[in-house]
Amino acid sequence: MRAGVPQGSVLGPTLWNIGYDSILQEGTEVGCQIICYADDTLVLAIADSVAGATARVNLQVGLVVNRIKRLGLTVSASKTEAVLFHRRKRRMDNLQPIVIVDGECIQTGASMRYLGVMLDSKMTFKAHFDFVEGKISRVSRALGRLMPNLRGPGEVKRRLYANVILSVALYGAPIWCDALTASRRNREKLDRLIKVMNLRVISAYRTVSLEALSIIARIPPLHFLAATRKRVYIRTMDLRNSDLWTKESATAIRKAETLIMRRQWEIRLSKPLLAGARIRDAVLPNFAAWLNRKHGGVA
């Protein structure tokens, strides 16, 4: 082909996969792996030392760049990122390996963005949560102008607004949910943003507690939603790997995990020292009925 195809074409991705597949089919160096998604190419190198990993990745990157050039394509070194993943507790500022991409030197950074997820050197996902915090803030400000607390849209439309925020917040949840659960600081950071979202959904005052807002808005805490998505993903992948996946089985998994998540949320709300006692006491006796209600509105 000497010309591209229009964006969104049905044939385009297939032609790309056929042409680019040669990058993956050719061999890799010892300790190296190549992962491709669309036109994003990731090169991984594992070694017992930083010097060994650097040597391996530079050798593999050079081979990959040459293969890409043989296809008549070019590599954008300016968009290339590199990170040194390690488990050492001490700082490694003195170790800054350089990756050479098409003759240009790429310094390793503290984190990199891959397929919308920020990966840091110790896989704590702190950089990702900071990134999500900024993104949710921007989306909330943009949508908040359409959702004033006084008058404005009803609950159904406000829940659509909430779903937009949640889709941003929960992107890649199966990857980072354990890090969110383990870090109170990260949970509190995202909970502040989710509280603003819940305020908009039910048109409440800022003084209302997050627990009360979550109950009235019928939106579980973010770490519960993230853990549910991870469990659904793991169970679904197990079915796919066993060739047992069906649409019905996937639906059954989602329903079962949702019930588990709601039960976990109910147990959490039963703790006596939690905020929003009056709301909790009023709703908990009929918690399932409240979550499943199809009538009325709160906005």
At 221-236, the pLDDT tens digits run 999 999 999 999 999 9
DSSP three-state, residue 173: helix
> With contact defined as beta carbons under 8 Å apart, do 46 and 39 qualify?
no
Mean pLDDT of all residues in 27-35 = 91
Task: Answer whether residue 280 shows pLDDT above 70.
Answer: yes
Please state, as a whole number, how many other Cβ atoms lie within 10 Å of the Cβ of residue 17: 12
* Gyration radius from the chain CA atoms: 24
Burial 33-58 (b: 16+ CB within 10 A, else e): ebeeeeeebebebeeeebeebbbbbb
CA distance 113 to 118: 4
**How many CA atoms, within 13 angstroms, populate the side-chain half-sphere of residue 126?**
8
Convert the pLDDT of each residue in 131-181 to its tens digit. Answer: 999 999 888 887 777 777 767 777 788 888 889 999 999 999 999 999 998
Distances (CA, A) of 74 to 35, 65, 77: 18, 8, 9
* Average pLDDT of the chain to the nearest whole number: 88
pLDDT in tens, 82-105: 999 987 766 555 667 889 998 899
Pairing of strands 32-37, 98-101: unpaired
Q: How confident is the model at residue 284 (pLDDT cuts 50, 70, 90)?
A: very high
What residues contact residue 34 under an 8 Å CB cut-off, 6+ apart?
23, 24, 28, 41, 42, 43, 44, 60, 64
Cα separation, 266 vs 269, whole angstroms = 5
pLDDT at 154: 78
